[in-house]
Structure 1
Amino acid sequence: MDFKNKVVWITGASSGIGEALAKSFADAGAKLVLSARRISELERVKNALRLDDDRCLIIPMDLTDLTGAENMVQQVVEKFGSIDVLVNNGGISQRAMAIDTAIETDREIMEVNFFGAIRLTKLVLPVMIKQQSGQIVVISSVAGKFGFYLRSAYSASKFALHGFYESLRMEVFKYNIKVLLVCPGKIHTNISVNALRGDGQKNNIMDKGQEEGMPAEECAERILTGIRKGKYELLIGGKEVMAAQIKRFFPDFFTNFIRKQKPE
């Protein structure tokens, strides 16, 4: 796919992988729709990329409350005429044992990571079906391939994304709509800082693995390469992504191995 003049809508675009993707797509000549909760941060990203209003539209969005999202989609179409790529990147992680996590926190994580993504996807799909083309990119996680300490609700939400979007991929193939599931491992972002504790409060701690992880900019470039190559799934990160392959071929060994890893 040549991204020049393509319309790319990115959720969670105010930081981390979302911000890095905005830069990579902008460098490739795309027109951007940037969404997140914090308008000031979206403006910062737009200004940093030196995008004028002809190439960038900011649409504030809270994935836990997509009231009026139909109007958001219409706003994008009226401005740019199409939606070529939807990147469902907005999400939130967890740092708490299952027994210590309030059910309200479980629901919030699922609402953001799963229901928010599929709600926006369902609203964008008619546009892509009408134009007989489109690319949906879903930022999952290696935690969507196997569970780990302190991630019960987070892993559940990411596992759910795989089930939904693998099914959707088959259903929309006839419309020339492609679906890419991206499973990042340890990427240098603030995901652990912004993660929820069991009581729903912000974690405010940077994990060592995140701090030493792959730069978000490198992750973004690999995602664009995956889209260009027509990939269905990408595992991106360091040695941690090998765990997904170990689980697939040696499930019993994996279970014993992963249990001995340090929770963080």
Structure 2
Amino acid sequence: MKTLILGGTREARELADIASGERGFDIVSSLAGRVRDPVLPVGEVRVGGFGGVGGLREWLRGNGIEVVVDATHPFAGGITANAATAAASLGIPVLHVRRPGWTEQPGDRWMRVPDLALAAEAAAALGKRVFLTIGRQGVAAFAHSDAWFLIRAIDPPDGAMPVDHELLLARGPFSVADETALLTGQRIDVMVTKDSGGALTEAKLIAARELGIPVVMIGRPPLPAGAEQVETVAAAWDWLRARRGTARWADRPRSEPG
């Protein structure tokens, strides 16, 4: 079964690893190409955009894709919407894999906001030394703030940046001890992050909780209406196996009655 995994996440890599070792699956993983040195999944990989809904539709048709698994980052709303639209136009089933978001714990001081603009306003009201850990995209929303920013990302951000800032290029996972040392050493008084979920970067939230630092938590974009969603790689694998089984049964010759 020709399967496109839209990836760039740990879940996408794990699913590609499992499915590529199973008979009956032909897996292609696609990465957006926004990270200069990405961690690659096993098997066939394509890198780069598709050119919008139309380009993705033609790519799906031209490559004989039978199912699509959207295991992109929870904030990759553009490709998620495009995948749902393009696949629906071709009658191709789509599964969205989204790890659960983070849950506020006792001692947390979170302010949930729906977008970057409101996150910038909230951060300005809460502190003057901001730990901005939202990746390299979206930093421009904070460019006009007069606060000092510690900006952590894997690659340097594009576009405008706050005048008073320090750029820290690093890739997780990070330990609680290291995050605590970073926050105290830089005298951080407010953190801004996205509700990405997962254990890979959760240590910063634990450190903020223990230090009593407020966190501005940016909410995820919604999935397309009617989207089929699972939260784990195991559930995605079960869905893929069921789809393969359905496809094989539908292709079997039917015996004549009697």
Give the structure-2-normalised TM-score. 0.41
Q: Report which of the two structures shows the higher radius of gyration computed on alpha carbons.
A: 2
Give the structure-1-normalised TM-score. 0.40
